[in-house]
Amino acid sequence: MRRSAARHTSRTTGPTGTRRARALALIALVSILPLVLASCGEPEPVDRRIMLIGIDGLEWDLMKPLIDEERLPAFARLLEEGTWGEVHSLDVLESPVIWTSIGTGKVPEKHGVLGFVKHGDRHEQTPVTRNVRRVKTVWEILGENGASVGVIGWLATWPATPVNGYLVSNYFVFEQPPESGRTSAITFPEGLSEDLSRFVVREDDVDDSRAAEFTGEEVPHEGPERVKFDALKGFIASDETIRRTGLHLGGAMPVDFFTVYLRAVDSPCHIFWVDSFPESGQGATAESIELFGEVIPRYYEYMDEVLADFLELADENTTVIVTSDHGFEGPERVGDAYHLGIRMHDPTGFIAFAGKDIVAGGELADASVLDITPTILALMGMPVADDMDGRVLAEAIDPSFLRAHPVTTVDTYEDGDGDISGESDEEPIESPLDDEVREQLRSLGYIE
Ligand SMILES: [Zn+2]
């Protein structure tokens, strides 16, 4: 990251000779007047790593009692050592839309990803793909400015396009095993997916006994309970694949900006909510409540273990961000009807910052999913773009860092003038995995 900040400095301060002379003068000053340097000189390059952990559907109302019962020690550590709060989502509570806003700092009208499938595309229902997004992500901006990046599992990142590091697209968990070669560009570099195939966990790889850790050791053998039990195995397989892949890459290929996306608590909440809260909807039976009533809190415990593993990768130079895209509040009742799918989502999720240059014990009162990218840029000492729609969450950041690295702005990081709106012209790209992706979206109530 030193390199990138230097590049940015050279763009804004003119010829290298002038810069060098100024740098020498500053070096002379630094030994006697560090405070002068901090307040008057050019910002120093920022030496930092960022780890952004995305967990779909984290709901504070579910987390709080579990933290109080000391069942989520890794999350509790974040709260104690960091700054956290609820995060406001968008009007549209479809995950690919929100995650793209998290990763770009821009509203959907600008980034172009407007749903799980392209709107108006009710027949084909091709899952939304990378090409539909028409603005840059924070990892692309950082990469173009010299930072190395690693991106794992983010929605709407297939087909994988080049980054300054590596990218494992969201189709990696569907391509089982990856070496089956049903589609290309699962990862960047392309050959990475084959190397990572040993970390793939399939639904069939999850033993009944593993899934039974979520059901009080009970294993249903037939009927609708068995169908739900197998769905649970699928969720574990997907998250375990990302956990193992992410821990391997994060450990073996350290980067300046590392991010991982977990489907995590969102999927179990869709399927098992009525068993935890039978009065909130329809369909729970005495048997299903007995079997599945504790799946959701146990899945939070599982995610806490996964979080703890990733936090192990963070060194003293790392700033950690954990965020969800939305929360969860169960079926929406209108008259006698219960609406599922995205209408089970709560428009506020959970966000926490911790680690280097983060205020300990701070609270975020008014954070938005749009603020995450601007805040990452500020933490990296880079300008925020005026065409981004969020703000820097300065209340989370150590004031001494912001004094040394005041937030600056540029018009845009886009190649054009950044002045775009409306639906993307790009059609989603079809893939042999589409039937499986659609089946997953259907099972969660997202599409018909
Ligand atoms: Zn959901």
How far apart are the CA of 270 and the centre of ligand 1, in A? 6
Q: Which of 14, 29, 45 is the last residue of a domain?
A: 45
Q: Which residues of 415-427 are buried (b: 16+ CB within 10 A; e: fewer)?
A: eeebebeeebebe
**Residue 334: DSSP 8-state:** E
Full domain range(s) for residue 130: 48-443
Nearest Cα to Cα of residue 44 among 416, 414, 406? 406
What mean pLDDT do residues 219-234 have?
96
pLDDT band at 296 (very low <50, low <70, confident <90, very high): very high
Q: Above 50 in pLDDT, residue 30?
A: no
Structural domain total, the chain:
2
**Same domain membership, residue 72 and residue 34:** no
Cα 235 to ligand 1 centre (Å): 13
Q: What is the per-residue pLDDT for 316?
A: 97
* Helical H segments across 319-398, by residue range: 372-379
pLDDT of residue 329: 94
Does residue 23 sit in the same domain as residue 130? no
Q: Does one domain contain both 299 and 415? A: yes
How far, in Å, is the centroid of ligand 1 from the Cα of 217? 26
pLDDT of residue 43: 62
CB-side neighbour CA atoms (13 Å) of 247: 16
> Is 75 contained in some domain?
yes
My answer on whether 358 and 217 are in the same domain is yes
What pLDDT, on a 0 to 100 scale, did the predictor assign at position 177? 55
So what's the pLDDT on residue 4?
A: 38
Report if residue 235 sits inside a domain: yes
Domain at 80, CATH number: 3.40.720.10
Please give the structure tokens belonging to residue 85.
């709060």
User: Which runs of consecutive H residues, i.e. helices, occur in 334-371?
Assistant: none
Q: Are residues 268 and 148 located together in one domain of the fold?
A: yes
**Is residue 171 domain-resident?**
yes
The answer on 400 and 316 residing in a single domain is: yes
Mean pLDDT of 397-424: 87
Ligand 1 centroid vs 400 CA: distance in angstroms? 39
What is the 85 CA–ligand 1 centroid distance (Å)?
Answer: 20
Render pLDDT for 89-125 as a digit per residue (tens, 0 to 9). 998 889 999 999 999 999 999 998 888 887 555 556 8
Within a domain: 110: yes
Does 353 lie in the same domain as 373?
Answer: yes
**300 C-alpha to center of ligand 1: Å?**
15
Residue 342 CA to ligand 1 center (angstroms) comes to 6
Residue 448 lies in a domain: no
Distances (CA, A) of 186 to 111, 226, 287, 437: 22, 31, 40, 14
Segment (H or E) for 16: helix 16-30
Q: Is residue 3 included in any domain, yes or no?
A: yes
3-state secondary structure of 237: helix
* Distance from the alpha carbon of residue 239 to the mean position of ligand 1, in angstroms: 15
More confident residue, 323 or 337: 323
Half-sphere exposure of 11 (CA within 13 A, CB side): 10
Looking at the fold, whether 319 and 439 belong to one and the same domain comes out as yes
pTM summary value? 0.87
How much is the pLDDT for 71?
A: 98
Which pLDDT does position 437 carry in this prediction? 83
List C-alpha distances in Å: 254 to 51, 94, 154.
11, 31, 18
Residue 87, domain member (yes or no): yes
**Distance from residue 156's CA to the centre of ligand 1 (Å):** 15
Higher pLDDT, 278 or 446: 278
Please, are residues 213 and 298 in contact by the beta-carbon 8 Å criterion? yes
Q: 119 and 267 in one domain?
A: yes
**Average pLDDT rounded to a whole number, residues 48-52:** 98
Token couple for 179: 């070496």
Domain match, 133 and 3 both: no
Residues 28 and 88 in one domain: no
Q: Do residues 113 and 18 share a domain? A: no
Distance between Cα 326 and ligand 1 center (Å): 8
In a domain? residue 92: yes
pLDDT above 60: residue 23 = no
- pLDDT for 429 equals 86
Q: What is the pLDDT of residue 176?
A: 60
Per mean pLDDT, which range of 168-182, 285-299, 378-392 is the poorest? 168-182
Encoded tokens for 16: 């290298």
- Report the candidate in 332, 384, 311, 317 with the shortest Cα–Cα distance to residue 48: 317
Range among 67-76, 280-289, 415-424, 435-444 rated most confident: 67-76
- How many whole angstroms from 260 Cα to the centroid of ligand 1? 18
What pLDDT score does 34 carry? 42
- C-alpha distance from residue 390 to each of 86, 357, 361, 387 (Å): 15, 20, 23, 9
Residue 337 has pLDDT above 80, yes or no: yes
Distance 109 CA to ligand 1 centre (A): 21
Mean pLDDT of the 307-330 span: 97
Residues 300/282, Cβ–Cβ less than 8 Å:
no
Distance 315 CA to ligand 1 centre (A): 32
How far is it, in rounded angstroms, from Cα 95 to Cα 327?
Answer: 11
